[in-house]
Amino acid sequence: MNSNNTEKEILAQPRLWQETYSNIASKHGELATFLDKALAYENLKVMLIGAGTSAYIGEVLQKSMQQKFKRVTEAIASTDFISHPTDFLIKTQPTLMISFARSGDSPESLAAVDLANGFCDKLFHLIITCNPEGKLAKNADSKNSYVLLMPEEANDKGLAMTGSFTTMLLAGILISDIEKLGENKKYVDELYKYGNIILQKYNERIQDVATLDFNRVVFLGSGSLKGIARESQLKVQELSDGQIICKYDSFLGLRHGPKAVVKDATLVVYIFSSNDFVNKYEYDLVRSINKQKEKLYEIGIGESLKFKDEIGLDLSIEVSDSNNIPEEYFAVCAILPAQLLALYKSINLGLLPDSPSTNKSINRVVQGVNIYIQK
């Protein structure tokens, strides 16, 4: 396997975001019609389903999608759903299941759809996937399903989900506000600029950080950005083959015990909200860690770090001098520093980023999962 795929896939993302927008714009009418059928039910439940990284897409989207759809929206990992489906489904409640999947061949993704089909009286499926040949896309029932394919290059060849994560996340954001798709193009254009700033201006700095002697990374985020913190920790653990242990949490949550993991060889990464009120809580936590001797290096990531002089950071990654886009859009590019850090740490450790698992314990498409039918 070419060990350069992961790097190419990370660097290609801003262009793929533009392609994702264009693709959705070309299908605007079809998508709007499909969503109108589901949203006609005022008691509709929206379920955001995926496994691993694809599940974290739902975690980032849940709050903004619930606000836009004005329907109860729940992010559910398919790995939780298939063992306890009746914990999440109500037979008589109309349900829209939005499935996120890179390959569309993961056993849990397929089983989640089958389980819901056999249980719900009224069910709609929106399948967002990167693989037109995957079983999830091919098996979709045209009557109550819509399949939205990401750009071809979003179907990452490397182990780690990079372009697939950000394109499917952006697609979810755009779909949740489909009526204002044209108006929201300005946010995608700004996002394209932000992505390129991170990948070009901060690339070498992050590469230098990857050479530091750390064995732990703590990623912190608030609200929807907590989902980005979770995906960030997975990327570094995956591409380092578990040699770097990572933790994620909210800024406030870290104080309640998890702060004990911050030690001398710990890298702390703050993913800052664009909300000044939220920043008050976030900056309090940063000041607290600033005072600790037990930490190696601190990185701040934000659209605009307006009060960065009030705190101590070893590296500030910011893309603007003001906050110009909704936070859910910023979330799409906020993952890039962690992807770069994971890539360069993998190389620093002598691993192949496209296939870092030396004992093959993790694979591009999960293996060894048995699906059981409850009688």
To 5 degrees, how large is the angle CA 225–CA 20–CA 78?
Answer: 55
- Count other Cβ atoms within 10 Å, centred on residue 361: 8
CA distances from 370 to 46, 113, 281 (A): 27, 16, 44
Report how far residue 172's alpha carbon sits from residue 66's, in angstroms, rounded to the nearest whole number: 12
Domain 5-183 and domain 202-348 have a common topology: yes
Element (H, E) at 108: helix 107-117
pLDDT at 1: 38
Predicted confidence at residue 260, as pLDDT, reads: 83
DSSP assignment of 157-208 equals SSSS-SHHHHHHHHHHHHHHTGGGTTTTHHHHHHHHHHHHHHHHHSHHHHHH
Cα-based angle 176, 36, 178 (whole degrees, multiple of 5) = 30
Which amino acid makes up residue 9?
Answer: E
The helix or strand, by DSSP H or E, that contains position 73, with its residue range, turns out to be strand 72-77
Question: How wide is the angle at C-alpha 354 spanned by C-alphas 348 and 360, nearest 5°?
Answer: 95
- Which CATH number does 5-183 carry? 3.40.50.10490
pLDDT averaged over 10-residue windows placed end to end, the chain, 375 residues = 80 98 98 97 97 96 97 96 92 97 90 92 97 92 90 95 98 97 98 98 98 97 97 97 96 87 94 95 93 90 90 95 96 98 97 86 62 66
Q: Strand locations in 184-331, DSSP E?
A: 216-221, 245-249, 266-271, 297-302, 315-318
Three-class DSSP category at 69: helix
Phi, psi dihedral angles at 100 (to 5 degrees): -110, 130
Q: Say what the pTM is.
A: 0.94
In angstroms, the CA 279 to CA 282 distance is: 5
pLDDT at position 73:
98
Q: Where are the domains of the chain?
A: 5-183, 202-348
CATH architecture classification, 202-348: 3-Layer(aba) Sandwich (3.40)
Is the backbone of residue 205 left (phi > 0), alpha (psi -120 to 50) or beta?
alpha
